Amino acid sequence: MSTILAIESTCDETAAAVVVNGVQVRSSVVATQFELHRKFRGVVPEIASRAHIERILPVVTESMQQAKIGFDAIDAVAVAHRPGLIGSLLVGVTFAKALAWSIDRPLVGVDHVHAHLYSVVLDSDVQVQFPAVGLVVSGGHTALYVLNSWLEVTLAGSTIDDAVGEAYDKVSAILGLEFPGGPIVDRLAAQGRETIAFPRSYLSRQSLDFSFSGLKTAVLYHVRGVPGKAKREAPIDEQELRDICASFQGACVQTLVRKIERACERFKANSVIVGGGVSANSGLRSALVDFELPVYFPKLNYCTDNAAMIGGLAHQHLSAGRVSDLALEAIPQSGIPRV
C-alpha cells in the first residue's frame, strides 16, 4: 500500500496529485499557464518559473484538500525532476525536497517522459503485456521506447527536429488559429478530407527516428506559396482550412503508426502504449483501433501534463526501493538510456 503526494512543474503546468497504490487517483490538480503564454505562441521560460512559484503552494494544498487527507497519511513525496525547463524544474524539486524533509518522508524523483508512458494505467484496470512499445508524443517530445517492465525502459528513437505537438502548434499558427493548436487542428481535421498529399518523412528504411519539420514547411508553402515563386492568390476558405488540417493530421498519424509498426516488429512487442498531449488526438486513436496488438491510451485528463502520472510511477520506484535523497537534482534532459 502506498499513498503518494506528487508534484509536476517541468514545463508550463503546475500540478499536484495524491495517488494510492500507483493507480487510484485521489486528486489531480492542474493549474495551466496557457493564458500567460498565449500571446507569445509558446512557453516563455521565465514567465513559467515565476508562475510555478506563485501557484505551487495553492495547488498542493488543493490536492490535499480534494483527497481529504493530511500529511500524516502520505508515505512519500514524488517529483518530476527531469526533463524540462530548468527554472520550472527547480521550483517543483525544491518544494518537494522541503516538504519531504519537513514531514520526514522519502523523496522519489521521477522522469516526466517515463511517467507519460505510465499514465495509461491511471484510474483503470489495464495490465500492460510486456515487452511493450511506448510512444510519447507531446509538445516537447516525440520518442519511441521499449519497456520490459515499468522500470526497465530504453529509448529506441526520437525526433531529429520538431516534436509532433510542436508541429501541430506551428501549423495552427500558420493557419491563424489559437495556441495551443493541437486540439483545434484535431477538431477541424475531423470535419475535413485528406485532399492534399503532404510529405511523410520515414527517414531511412529501418529508422525509428522522426522528423516533422519538412511536413510543417510543406503546410507553410501550401498556405503562403513557395518563396521565389508566384504568391498564392485565393484566401483559404473554411472548407480548405479543414482539408489542410485533415491532410496534415493524416501525414502525422500515418508516420507515427508506421514507426510503431517498425518498433513492434523489431522488439517483438506484445502491446503498445501511447502517452503525452498528442495521445489525445482523435485521428491517432482511431488509426490504432484495429491494430494487431493491444494499444493503451491514457484517459483524456491524463494525456497532457499532470502530477497523477508522476505519483503513479513513483509507486513503482518506491516498491522497488528506489528512493532519492535531498541531493536530487533538476536535470533538463531525460534520463532514459538508448537501446
Q: What are the residues binding ligand KG4 (CB under 6 A)?
A: 11, 138-140, 165, 168-169, 180-183, 186, 276-278, 280-281, 304-305
Give the residue among 92, 138, 91 at the shortest CA–CA distance from 117.
Answer: 138
* Least distance CB 308 / ligand KG4 (angstroms): 13
* Least distance CB 119 / Zn ion (angstroms): 10
Which cell is 44 given? Answer: 516563455
Q: Which is nearer to ligand KG4, 74 or 171 (CB)?
A: 171
Q: Which is nearer to ligand KG4, 64 or 305 (CB)?
A: 305
Q: Which is nearer to Zn ion, 138 or 279 (CB)?
A: 138
182 interface partner picked from ligand KG4, Zn ion, none, CB below 5 to 8 A per type: ligand KG4
Query: Cis (ω within 30 of 0) for the bond into 131?
Result: yes
Residue 213, Ramachandran bin (φ over 0: left; ψ between -120 and 50: alpha; else beta) = alpha
Query: Does the footprint of Zn ion cover residue 111 (CB under 5 A)?
Result: no
3-state secondary structure of 196: coil
Mask of contacts with Zn ion, 288-307, x by CB under 5 A? Answer: -----------------x--
Q: Which of residues 304-333 bind Zn ion (CB under 5 A)?
A: 305
* Least distance CB 277 / Zn ion (angstroms): 6
Interface with Zn ion (CB under 5 A), residue total 2
Give the residue among 305, 327, 266, 296 at the shortest CA–CA distance from 10.
Answer: 305
266 class by beta-carbon count within 10 Å (0-12 exposed, 13-18 middle, 19+ buried): middle
**How many whole angstroms separate alpha carbon 147 and alpha carbon 290?**
22
* Least distance CB 301 / Zn ion (angstroms): 14
Cα angle 11, 13, 18 (rounded to 5 degrees) comes to 120
142 interface partner picked from Zn ion, ligand KG4, none, CB below 5 to 8 A per type: none
Residue whose C-alpha cell is 491524463: 302
Strands (E), 168-212: none
28 interface partner picked from ligand KG4, Zn ion, none, CB below 5 to 8 A per type: none
* Least distance CB 215 / ligand KG4 (angstroms): 14
**How many whole angstroms separate alpha carbon 280 and alpha carbon 120?**
12
* Least distance CB 115 / ligand KG4 (angstroms): 10
Give the pairing of strands 107-111 and 76-82.
Answer: parallel
Query: Does the footprint of Zn ion cover residue 13 (CB under 5 A)?
Result: no
180 interface partner picked from ligand KG4, Zn ion, none, CB below 5 to 8 A per type: ligand KG4
Which cell is 183 given? Answer: 486540439
Query: Does the footprint of Zn ion cover residue 138 (CB under 5 A)?
Result: yes
**How many whole angstroms separate alpha carbon 115 and alpha carbon 306?**
10
**How many whole angstroms separate alpha carbon 251 and alpha carbon 222?**
14
306 interface partner picked from ligand KG4, Zn ion, none, CB below 5 to 8 A per type: none
* Least distance CB 64 / Zn ion (angstroms): 23
Q: Which is nearer to Zn ion, 138 or 249 (CB)?
A: 138
Q: Which is nearer to Zn ion, 243 or 305 (CB)?
A: 305
Q: What's phi and psi for 113, nearest 5 deg? A: -70, -40
